[in-house]
Structure 1
């Protein structure tokens, strides 16, 4: 979705933060394993808010500050049931200045793809996906 937003907003830079890398052209869908995992989280016409996807103990370990955990959980929306099933077009010529920030090892393949495409890649991939909430100053340094 970010390529479409980049073009629509006339943004000078796109920043992917511990995220899947879109197709270089055509359309993008999340990987099949993501779509299969999310299928079990559907509740009618919605997908449960992402904090409910985590074991509560694992989420608490990632966000040890109870107040921060509560804020993050409260702000997480439910998504339309087909959110991960709708192909998103990738516009041509969107990727002139792209930064990929890798926080966690789960995104090693995406970080490698970003490097192959010549994107700037920052981060070691040794942190947590939720560092964006628990270590915001560090993330701001990586982005700037």
Structure 2
């Protein structure tokens, strides 16, 4: 059985479906949603970024969610977005101040992380953006 409170899933789903008024109310009533994570340590922002939901990620950022969040494996959300090839969302993270000096649990920067996962084209691309 999951230790993740059901409200985490309800909140994530509301944001994913663009029901921002519902999500706003939930966040007002349960401010801990800002830092609440699922079973693998992903905040709602991290989860939605992996789903390439830029609109939801942007909304969450405006509500105070950390765009430099890491999952329980120590992987920054930006690394996963880049690994998945989401160039538009990756650029959004960089434009909105994501930490380009971040490292994963193994001490890899984003370029090294991408090369480790055989994503050399994406590693070159993020380096051109300043990473």
What is the TM-score with the length of structure 1 in the denominator? 0.28
Instruction: Choose between structure 1 and 2: higher strand proportion.
Output: 1
Tell which has more relative contact order, 1 or 2 (C-alpha 8 A, sep 6+): 1
Instruction: Choose between structure 1 and 2: higher helix proportion.
Output: 2
What is the TM-score with the length of structure 2 in the denominator? 0.30
